Chains A and B, each alone.
Chain A
Amino acid sequence: MNVAQIRKDFPIFERKVNGKPLVYLDSAATSQKPLAVIEALDHYYRTYNANVHRGVYSISEEATEAYEKARDKVQAFIGAARRESVIFVRNTTEAINLVAYAWGRANIGAGDEIMLSEMEHHSNLVPWQLLAAEKSAVLKHIPVLDDGTLDMDEARRLVTERTKLVAVSHMSNVLGTINPVQELARLAHSAGAVILLDGAQSVPHMPVNVQELDCDFLAASGHKMLAPTGSGFLYGRVELLESMPPFMGGGDMIRQVWLDHATWNDLPWKFEAGTPNVADMIGLGVAVDYLQSVGMQAIREHEKQLTAYTLGTLGELELVDIHGPRDPEIRGGAVSFCYADVHPHDLAQILDGDGICIRAGHHCCHPLMRKLGVSATARASFYLYNTEDEVDLLVKSLTKAGELFGVPAPARA
C-alpha cells in the first residue's frame, strides 16, 4: 500500500492550517474524502440529478441505476448474501434506531433482557434505554476489564433465556478494542437472542464479512469510510427485516395506499421512506470502490503498524496514560490517552496551532469515561492516509503543550 500515492488522492491534504500542513488524526469522527468521491457528487448534480425509483425519463433512470448499484457494491463489500439486506440510512445512529424502533418494539416485552457493554457509544446505548423504558425491559452491561477488553466470563454469566438482544461495538471508538463478536454471536444465538453489531469503527478499517461474523444486524457510517456525510447503512438478515414492521412511513416504502391503510414495498425499500440521500449514497458506492482497490486487509495492516508505532513512541513519554489494549492485533487505530494533567481541550488547542487535528472530550461514551475514572481524554485515530511522520509530529507537539503547562520534561526510555 503506497501511502504517499494515496494521500495525493485526497485534495484536503493540500491545505495548510495555521501555516502548517494538515495532520488529520480524527478519522474516528469522520474520514477525509478522495477526489473520486467528491467528483461523483459533483458529476451527479451537474449531469444526472433526478429523484429515484419513480421517473420514466433518462436521467431519473441513470440516478436510480447509480443509487442501486451503490447498494450492490455495499452488499459485496460486507459479504451479504442478498441485496435486500442492505438498507441505506443517514449514519450508524439512524441504523441502530431503525432496529430499536422496527425490530425492538415488536420483539421486546416486559422482563426481556438486552445485553450491551460498558464501552458502548451513546448511539448503541441510548436507543436501547428508550426501548427498555418503554417496554419495561432490563438492560445488562458486559463489564470492561482494566486491559480494555470485554469480560467474556461475565458476558457468559449475564446471558439468560430472557436475553432477546445482544448489541455491542465491533471496534471501540475510545479504546480501539476489537471485540470477540463471533463468540458473542454464538452466545447470543445459543440463548435464542439476536445480535447487533455497531460497525461504525470496524467496517471502514478492516475486512468485515457479515456471514462469517454471523451477525443479525450490522450498523455502519459511510462518512467514516471515505463517503459523504449523510451516508450509512444497516445490514439485516432478510428473514428479520421481512418480519419487522416499517420504521418511517411515507413515499417509496409503500406498495399501495388507501385513505385508512397501506401495504408495504419489498425489501430493501420498505425501510427507505421518502427521497433518499441519492448523491451521498452514490458517493458511498465510489468510496467502496476506492477501498476495494486499496484492499481492506492492507488498510488493516497499515493501521496496525501505525498503532504499534504510536503505542511505542507515545507510550515512551512519561506521564502519558494510553487507554485500551496494548496488543495491536486486538485493537484498531483509535488511541485515547491522557497526558499528565494537561486537559484534553488544551492539548487539542496547542496541537491545532501545529495543524494537528485530534479529538478531546468524552467521545460519546460517558459511562466508559466514568469507568476509566477520567473526565475527558484526547484521542488520535488513524486511517489509510496517515503516516508515522504524522505520529512524530503529534508527539513533538504534545511535549510542547506539556512545557506550556509545566509538565516535567519527558525522559525517553
Chain B
Amino acid sequence: MSLPLDDLYREIILDHYKQPRNRGELEPHTVRVEGNNPLCGDEIQLDVILADGDLQDVAFQGRGCSISQASASMMTEAVKAKPVEDVRQLIETFKGMMHGQPVDTEDLGDLEALEGVQKFPVRIKCALLAWTTLEQALQEAKAS
C-alpha cells in the first residue's frame, strides 16, 4: 500500500472497524440521534444515557466506511463514563485535529490514529460523523 494510504488505514483503525466497541442499542436511553454523512454512504444511530452530569453510557448502530465506523467505536470508548463537560471538550479537540489545528493528543488515546485523515479532506466528514451526531445528542438532551 502506498505511504499516504498507510497513514489513513492504520492497524488500530482497521481493528476498531473489524471489532467495533460499544455496538448496539441502549434501552432505555436519554436520547437517540441519527446522523448521515454528507459524503453519502455512512449512517449512524447513537444512543446516549446521561445522568448526574455524566455521559454514563453510549452505543452506536449503523453502516458505513471503515473511517466512520472506527471513529465511532473509538469515540464511544473515549467518552463513556466521562463528565459531559469533558465530552464537549473532547468533541472540540477532535474536530480541531480533523481540521489541522495543533492539539494535545495526550487525552485522545486510540483517536490519535485518526490524525492521518487530515491528508484526505473528503474523508474528514467520515471521521466526524459520530462526533457531530454526539454533539447533536447532547444538544437535544439539553433542550428537553
**Smallest CB separation, B133 vs chain A (Å):** 16
Q: B143 at interface (Cβ–Cβ under 8 A)?
A: no
A346 with B66, Cβ < 8 A, contacts A18-B4, A404-B1 known: yes
Question: Which residues of chain B in 1-23 are interfacial with respect to chain A, using CB atoms and an 8 Å cutoff?
Answer: 1-2, 4-5, 8-9, 14, 18
Residue-wise, chain A 40-74 has the 8 Å CB interface mask toward B (1 for contact) of 00000000000000000000000000000000000
Residue-wise, chain A 354-375 has the 8 Å CB interface mask toward B (1 for contact) of 0000001110000000000001
Q: Is there contact, CB below 8 Å, between B40 and A362?
A: yes
Q: B141 at interface (Cβ–Cβ under 8 A)?
A: no
Q: Is there contact, CB below 8 Å, between B40 and A361?
A: yes
A interface, size bucket: 10 to 19
A375 with B64, Cβ < 8 A, contacts A345-B41, A353-B1 known: yes
12 contacts between A and B (CB under 8 A): A345-B39, A345-B64, A345-B68, A346-B9, A346-B67, A349-B8, A350-B1, A375-B41, A375-B43, A376-B42, A376-B63, A405-B14
**Smallest CB separation, A57 vs chain B (Å):** 46
Main secondary structure of the interface of A (DSSP, over half): mixed
Bound state CA distance, A350 and B66, in angstroms? 12
Q: Is there contact, CB below 8 Å, between B5 and A349?
A: yes
Ranked 10 nearest A-B pairs via Cβ: A376-B41, A345-B65, A343-B65, A361-B40, A375-B63, A362-B40, A361-B41, A353-B2, A353-B5, A346-B66
Q: Is there contact, CB below 8 Å, between B43 and A343?
A: no
Q: B80 at interface (Cβ–Cβ under 8 A)?
A: no
Q: Is there contact, CB below 8 Å, between A362 and B41?
A: yes
Q: A344 at interface (Cβ–Cβ under 8 A)?
A: yes
Residue-wise, chain B 116-144 has the 8 Å CB interface mask toward A (1 for contact) of 00001001001000000000000000000
Kindly identify which residue among B1, B5, B39, B120 contacts A361, using a CB–CB cutoff of 8 Å.
Answer: B39
Residue-wise, chain B 44-76 has the 8 Å CB interface mask toward A (1 for contact) of 000000000000000000011111100000000
**Smallest CB separation, A337 vs chain B (Å):** 14
Q: Is there contact, CB below 8 Å, between A343 and B66?
A: yes
Q: A249 at interface (Cβ–Cβ under 8 A)?
A: no
Which residues of A line the B interface, CB within 8 A?
18-19, 343-346, 349-350, 353, 360-362, 375-376, 400, 404-406
Q: Is there contact, CB below 8 Å, between A350 and B5?
A: yes
Bound state CA distance, A406 and B66, in angstroms? 12
Residue-wise, chain B 84-97 has the 8 Å CB interface mask toward A (1 for contact) of 00000000000000
Bound state CA distance, A400 and B5, in angstroms? 12
Q: Is there contact, CB below 8 Å, between A349 and B120?
A: yes
Bound state CA distance, A344 and B68, in angstroms? 12
Taking CB atoms, residues of chain B closer than 8 Å to A406 are: 18
**Smallest CB separation, B126 vs chain A (Å):** 6
Kindly identify which residue among A345, A400, A404 contacts B126, using a CB–CB cutoff of 8 Å.
Answer: A345
